[in-house]
Amino acid sequence: MGRNSLAAITVAAIAMISVSCASMRTAGNNERGRVVHYAREMMDKGYKYGADTPEEGFDCSGLVQFAYKNAGIKIPRTVAEQFAASERIELQKAREGDLVFFTTYASGPTHVGIYTGGGRFIHAPSEGRRIREDDISKNYWKKVYYGAGTFFR
Query: Of 60, 75, 79, 124, which is the active-site residue?
Result: 60
User: Maximum CA pair distance of the chain?
Assistant: 64
60 is catalytic: yes
Query: Of 25, 45, 111, 121, which is the active-site residue?
Result: 111
Is residue 102 a contact partner of residue 144, using CB atoms and an 8 Å limit?
A: yes
123 is catalytic: yes
Sequence letter at residue 152 = F
Query: Of 123, 136, 146, 151, which is the active-site residue?
Result: 123
21 is catalytic: no
> Exposed/middle/buried for 139, CB within 10 Å: 0-12, 13-18, 19+?
exposed
Contacts of 95 (CB under 8 A, 6+ apart): 32, 115, 117, 150, 152
DSSP per-residue string spanning 2-38 = -HHHHHHHHHHHHHHHHHHTTTSB---HHHHHHHHHH
Catalytic residue ranges? 60, 111, 123
